[in-house]
Amino acid sequence: MGMLVGVFKLTLVVGALFASVGTTDLGSSCNGQRLILTDPNGTISDGTSDYYPSTSRCEWLIDAGRPNQTITLQFIRMETECSYDILYVFDGNSLNSTLLASLSGNTVPEPILARSGYMLIYFFSDESYTEKGFEATYVIQDCPYNCSDQGKCVNHECQCDSGYWGDYCHMKICPNFCQPNGTCDVSSQSSGCVCNEGHAGMHCDLSLNDDVGNKLWYLLAPSGSGFVPRTSHSGVFVESSNSLWVFGGYTGNGVLNDLSKFCLNQSRWEQYQSSCHGQVPVVAMLQWNIEVAFLFMVEHCKTAPKVMNYGILAQSQKAGH
Ligand SMILES: [Ca+2]
């Protein structure tokens, strides 16, 4: 099942945007003071080319000055003690705002977008062991990266030109025309690569019937394609429909109660349609036991509490059996 987890690498070239930008220092933002940044672009870092201090408490607030402006944070380097020295990014002006990211370790994160007109960044290091820290640039715009010049900015949202998609129209719908393992379908709203039998993935580059390309990462579905990032969720693979079902989980801001299906043949997420006629079911459950994977759905509609639907939506043998 490891192959089901794809990576999402962005290839935007934005360096020119930040060529003449200074770097904020660590001092004033790490002594209990919040450093407020109102310039249209800038750089944030731990303020030292060497190791950051222990017990750091640093806070930066990027204020666009107007609501709904997009603030994009792009990392240049990221080296903090994994799981202990953490950089939090919020979409808003307080620590109670929506948490966009909780970052540590030495993997350079993907760009992060805040759409409220504020982005709050808080860095915490514990009492022992430090690393070389982080550096990131930010830019305030009507739309992120001006839609990569491959779309129009309308009410702070990118409307992408034909053939492109993504939060900032940065991705081609059919890269390399899906060759050599698929064809490009642009005839419908869900346009994209249609893979030949035996292949899957956004670009049809994942081989299903042999070990060609084994131990590599493949893009199955990128961010923003119908699935909310989460942790601590339940999941089960249903062989008969070649799909992965996922229930619930935790987003960092709250607990989810949704049921989604990822169809490997189409590389698409679909939301399970409840029989509660638009009401979110109160109870749902996904269960995996040792021998057989069961997918249960228990619905208890809010508006009609006596209605209870219970059934096995799918059942499959555990992978490998
Ligand atoms: Ca530490």
Q: CB–CB of 29/58 below 8 Å? A: yes
Task: Summarize the confidence of residues 9-17 as an average pLDDT.
Answer: 31
Residue 12 Cα, ligand 1 centroid: separation in angstroms?
32
Residue 117 Cα, ligand 1 centroid: separation in angstroms?
31
Residue 250 Cα, ligand 1 centroid: separation in angstroms?
25
Residue in 196, 294, 194 with CA at minimum distance from that of residue 237: 294
Task: Summarize the confidence of residues 247-262 as an average pLDDT.
Answer: 85
Residue 119 Cα, ligand 1 centroid: separation in angstroms?
24
Residue 52 Cα, ligand 1 centroid: separation in angstroms?
9
Q: Is 182 within a domain?
A: no
The answer to whether residues 228 and 316 belong to one domain is yes
pLDDT digits (tens, 9 = 90+) for 262-299: 888 778 888 876 666 655 554 455 555 444 445 555 55
Task: Summarize the confidence of residues 100-114 as an average pLDDT.
Answer: 94
Give whole-number Cα distances, 46 to 35, 56, 90, 171, 258, in Å. 13, 9, 18, 32, 38
Residue 132 Cα, ligand 1 centroid: separation in angstroms?
11
pLDDT score of 3: 35
Most confidently predicted of 44-58, 67-81, 206-220? 67-81
Cα 171 from Cα 44, distance rounded (Å): 27
pLDDT score of 238: 79
Of 97, 118, 141, the position where a domain reaches its end is: 141
Residue 23 Cα, ligand 1 centroid: separation in angstroms?
23
Q: Is 68 within a domain?
A: yes
Residue 116 Cα, ligand 1 centroid: separation in angstroms?
31
Of 107, 141, 175, the position where a domain reaches its end is: 141
The answer to whether residues 28 and 135 belong to one domain is yes
Range with lowest mean pLDDT among 4-13, 35-44, 68-77:
4-13
| Predicted confidence (pLDDT) at residue 13 exceeds the cutoff of 80 | no
Range with lowest mean pLDDT among 80-94, 145-159, 187-201:
187-201
Cα atoms found within 13 Å of the Cα of residue 232, Cβ hemisphere only:
8
Q: Is 212 within a domain?
A: no
Q: Is 315 within a domain?
A: yes
Q: Is 136 within a domain?
A: yes
pLDDT score of 286: 54
Give whole-number Cα distances, 34 to 54, 59, 60, 137, 298, in Å. 18, 5, 6, 18, 47
Tell me the CATH number at 45. Answer: 2.60.120.290
The answer to whether residues 233 and 137 belong to one domain is no
pTM of the full predicted structure?
0.69
pLDDT score of 264: 83
The answer to whether residues 135 and 232 belong to one domain is no
Q: Is 15 within a domain?
A: no
Cα 268 from Cα 117, distance rounded (Å): 31
Of 87, 109, 141, the position where a domain reaches its end is: 141
Range with lowest mean pLDDT among 76-80, 191-195, 237-241:
237-241
pLDDT score of 14: 32
Task: Summarize the confidence of residues 117-122 as an average pLDDT.
Answer: 96
Sheet holding 34-37, edge to edge: 34-37, 57-63, 118-124, 86-91, 98-103
In DSSP terms, which residues pair with 126 in a beta bridge? none
| Predicted confidence (pLDDT) at residue 2 exceeds the cutoff of 70 | no
Domains held by the chain: number: 2
Q: CB–CB of 127/136 below 8 Å? A: no
Residue 85 Cα, ligand 1 centroid: separation in angstroms?
5
Residue 128 Cα, ligand 1 centroid: separation in angstroms?
5
For the chain, give the percent of residues with pLDDT over 90: 39
pLDDT score of 302: 56
pLDDT digits (tens, 9 = 90+) for 299-321: 555 554 433 343 444 444 443 33
What is the extent of the structural domain holding 113? 20-141
The answer to whether residues 129 and 31 belong to one domain is yes
Q: Is 205 within a domain?
A: no
pLDDT score of 43: 92
Q: CB–CB of 72/170 below 8 Å? A: no
Indicate the average pLDDT of the chain: 78
Cα 240 from Cα 314, distance rounded (Å): 9
Residue 126 Cα, ligand 1 centroid: separation in angstroms?
4
Q: Is 96 within a domain?
A: yes
DSSP-assigned states of every residue in 224-257: TSS----BS-EEEEEGGGTEEEEEEEE-SS-EEE
pLDDT score of 114: 96
Task: Summarize the confidence of residues 134-151 as an average pLDDT.
Answer: 95
The answer to whether residues 24 and 126 belong to one domain is yes
pLDDT score of 28: 53
Tokens of 307: 């209605």
